[in-house]
Amino acid sequence: MLEKCRNAKERWGGVSTIIDHWLEERQKLISLFVAIPTRKAGTVLNGSVHSFCELLMDYLSSGHFEVYEQLLREGSEFNDGSLEQAQRLLPQIQPSTDQALDFNDTYGTFEAPTLQQLCQLSRDLSELGERLEERFALEDQLIEILHTAHKDLAGTS
């Protein structure tokens, strides 16, 4: 997952400052995500999961309220079908948003967990990781459709 994130940043890093920042946030999010299982039970909830949840909410917000809007605005400037392709991808991203919000609601303020709750955290992290990987692939497609389709016309690289 981390390698795919690096590849996306290398490929589209110059698109805009907003997307650059967003891809950096994604990389930090993935780094926090993969570090959680290596933490001891006490530090998992006292720091790692809380930090992960905060960054996850920031990442989702940036995507929905900044990046997607910017990309769609870019796509609307060209009448080449890319906007329609991108709009078909957006509903496919929503299930991961819902799952991430549920995860945050459950673990964002999680205190003094039982062993059973820690086991559930492990399962929920695994499921969330799968959903996030799907999301990142869809977001990469969104960037590629809207950036690649217009880079020659817009004179960007």
Does residue 7 carry a pLDDT above 80?
Answer: no
DSSP H or E stretch at residue 95 = helix 82-107
Long-range CB pairs of 14-18 (<8 Å, 24+ gap) are 14/156, 14/157, 15/143, 15/147, 15/156, 16/70, 18/62, 18/66, 18/67, 18/70
What pLDDT shows up at residue 103?
A: 95
Q: Using alpha carbons, list the distances in angstroms from residue 134 to 13, 65, 95, 139.
A: 20, 20, 10, 9
**Which amino acid, residue 112?**
A
Does residue 156 carry a pLDDT above 50?
Answer: no
Residue carrying structure tokens 């805009």: 16
Paired tokens of 112 = 């003094």
What pLDDT shows up at residue 19?
A: 84
What pLDDT shows up at residue 127?
A: 97
pLDDT digit string, tens, across residues 44-100: 565 788 899 999 999 999 999 989 988 888 777 777 788 888 889 999 999 999 999
Give the residue extent of every domain in the chain: 2-154
Q: Which CATH number fits domain 2-154: 3.40.50.11440, 1.20.120.1370, 3.10.110.10, 3.40.50.720?
A: 1.20.120.1370
Q: Helix crossing, 115-143 with 82-107: angle to 10°?
A: 160
Cβ burial 57-77 (10 Å sphere, 16+ → b, else e)? eebbebbeeebbebbbebbee
pLDDT digit string, tens, across residues 133-152: 999 999 999 988 886 655 55
What pLDDT shows up at residue 54?
A: 95
Task: Give the residue-averaged pLDDT of 117-144.
Answer: 92
Task: Give the residue-averaged pLDDT of 101-121.
Answer: 85
Q: Which band of pLDDT confidence, cut at 50, 70 and 90, is reported for residue 101?
A: very high
DSSP H or E stretch at residue 73 = helix 68-76
pLDDT digit string, tens, across residues 10-36: 554 445 778 888 999 999 999 999 988
Q: Of 49, 14, 7, which Cα lies nearest the Cα of 136?
A: 7
pTM of model > 0.75: yes
What pLDDT shows up at residue 152?
A: 53
**Which amino acid, residue 121?**
L
